[in-house]
Amino acid sequence: MKAVIIGATGATGKEVLKELLADKRITAVIALVRREINNNHSKLTVIKVDFENLQNYESHLHADIAFSCLGTTLKDAGSKEAQWIVDHDYQLHFAALCKSADVKHFVLLSALGASKDAYFFYSRMKGTLEDHVSALNFPQLTIIQPGMITRPNSTRKLEQITGKILQGVNKIGLLSGYRAITTHQLAKEIVKAGFVANNTGIRRLAGQDLFNGAV
């Protein structure tokens, strides 16, 4: 089985890539990246691309499963408009090209609370993307909606503080849907979801679903 992925250099995406390369069911992985990956795994083909002209790489998208893990922060992007281009436009273009390449199962990393009608920009952006990718009518579409994502040994103070608060709150059963999940745990569930047969077309795994075996 062949997989294609974007976002493989990000915090979650690099963990997804590790899981794909370790899975015996996957025979080949194509990673479309903006910067080089130092990985010489025999199953991996790394292609450095220009996401503004992703259509030039459509011949590399013929795969059984596609994983879309691309994303940036508002701080790194510099503006809401620039973040929208990366998180929405690039991923939607990738999805559309995957559909044209006859990819059967598309797995999209989104966020808990995503909605096109959301008050907050980030949730509204993610919700709009979900709707637009859904409209492409993949035979199978799995949308992953984690709550707080934490990285081992993260140096981001806000991430450390928020993660500890949510862990404490979850112990008493409140806000369980926003339970913090590590990038490693999340990657395992993302890849696992890619192998689940889905006869309903669109499947969402949100928050607590990623912990209770729903995948």
For residue 20, the SS3 value is: helix
8 A C-beta contact, residue 24 and residue 51: no
Cα-Cα-Cα-Cα dihedral sign, residues 8, 201, 193, 159: positive
User: Helices (H) and strands (E) in the chain — how many of each?
Assistant: 7, 9
Residue 90 has pLDDT above 80, yes or no: yes
Domain borders along the chain are: 2-146+183-205
8 A C-beta contact, residue 69 and residue 129: no
Looking at residue 138, its pLDDT comes to 96
Q: What is the mean pLDDT of residues 122-129?
A: 97
Looking at residue 147, its pLDDT comes to 86
pLDDT tens, residue by residue, 126-141: 999 999 999 999 999 9
Q: Please give the Cα distance from 107 to 126 (Å, whole number).
A: 14
Looking at residue 189, its pLDDT comes to 93
**At 212, is the pLDDT very low, low, confident or very high (cuts 50, 70, 90)?**
low
Instruction: Tell me the catalytic residues.
Output: 122, 126
Give me the percent of the chain exceeding a pLDDT of 70: 85
Q: What is the mean pLDDT of residues 73-86?
A: 96
The model carries a pTM of 0.88
Q: What is the CATH code for 2-146+183-205?
A: 3.40.50.720
**At 197, is the pLDDT very low, low, confident or very high (cuts 50, 70, 90)?**
confident
Looking at residue 38, its pLDDT comes to 87
Complete DSSP assignment for 124-144: HHHHHHHHHHHTT--SEEEEE
